[in-house]
Structure 1
Amino acid sequence: MEKIKVRLVRSLIGCTPQQRKCVAALGLRKIRQENELPKNESTLGQIAAVCHLVEVVE
């Protein structure tokens, strides 16, 4: 299965609680922290919800 790397590049200050939960579900806590996740529909949906906060490297 393909994997993608997701990096948190912006702060969560001023975000909605739902966006904070999406970032936490992606396994990110601090700025510049990276996590490698499987490329599936649920992961891509979470990334789309917080696309202005994260950077994706395939």
Structure 2
Amino acid sequence: MADKLKITLVKSPIGAIPKQRATVEALGLKKVNKTVEMPDNDAVRGMIWHVRHLVKVEEI
């Protein structure tokens, strides 16, 4: 596994269920096409899995 993950919000969470909107916010993503770097661990991977249709992930 990589040390960090680069996570980009590629689709708006407006139509998503509230739990998914909260997950996107918890990842630190506020606007479409914004990117954050998060550590590569099981907790972050689980969050990404739940909103995988809204984000793009790259290993750094």
* Structure 1 residues without counterparts, runs of 5 or longer: none
Q: How does 1:14-53 map to 2 (within 5 A)?
A: 14-53=15-54
TM-score, structure 2 normalization: 0.93
Q: How many residues align?
A: 58
Gaps of 5+ in 2: none
Q: Which runs of 4+ in 1 moved over 6 A?
A: none
CA–CA distance in 2 between the matches of 1:4 and 1:12? 20
Q: Is 2:37 aligned against 1:9?
A: no
> How large is the RMSD of aligned CA atoms in angstroms?
1.0
Question: TM (normalized to structure 1)?
Answer: 0.96
Query: Can you list the C-alpha shifts for 1:5-36, whole angstroms capped at 9, x where unaligned?
Result: 00000011210110001001100000000000
2:14–2:21 Cα contact (<8 Å) kept: no
**Separation (CA, whole Å) in 1 of partners of 2:14 and 2:29:** 14
Instruction: State, as a whole percentage, how many aligned pairs show the same letter.
Output: 47
